[in-house]
Amino acid sequence: MSSETHTIADIVDLDRHPIDDLESEGGRKTLAACRASMASRGACRLEGFLRPEALDAMVNESKRLFPQAFRHDEQFRVYVSEQMPEGLPAEDPRHATARSAQACIAWDLFSAGSMRCSMGRAKAAVFPVPVWADPMTSLPAITSGMAWD
């Protein structure tokens, strides 16, 4: 994939998921499946949504930029309260802590022709917020999340 401006057809498998034509039979089926999944699970997963060559280009660009990512790592109590009551036994769940660690690549580090700069635009007929396909979460090792102690 080159650095020119990419169309949605370069990135998304529109034959499989015709999000560019929601009035077509396939578009209506895709939209209905997404809405049903959002209503029941709060998330929607579309297998094969990204074209393999587009996903490879996004992953490679993200890997190249990852050393410049902003990192944040902190420990915190699961039960957030201003004060812990004195005398709580050690096994009390209010002592439980969690770790939150993230690595975020700043948007301005991506090139103007980046496939990632082509993603994330709102489509009000589907969802009024941008739909995002993040290649970093497709890697075997997820780069952010929570680890419980």
Model pLDDT, residue 25: 95
98-141: pLDDT as tens digits? 888 888 888 888 887 787 655 554 444 444 444 444 444 443 33
Q: Mean pLDDT over residues 22-43, rounded?
A: 91
Strands 70-77 and 97-104, by their bridges, are antiparallel
Long-range CB contacts for residues 110-113, cutoff 8 Å, separation at least 24:
110/61, 110/65, 111/3, 111/61, 112/3, 113/2, 113/3, 113/4, 113/5, 113/6
Q: Describe the strand order of the beta sheet including 70-77 as a list of residue ranges.
A: 70-77, 97-104, 145-148
Q: Which residue do the tokens 């890697």 mark?
A: 139
Instruction: For residues 126 and 90, give the distance between their C-alpha atoms in angstroms, rounded to a whole number.
Output: 49
Instruction: For residues 53 and 17, give the distance between their C-alpha atoms in angstroms, rounded to a whole number.
Output: 16
Model pLDDT, residue 118: 52
Q: What is the pTM of this model?
A: 0.60
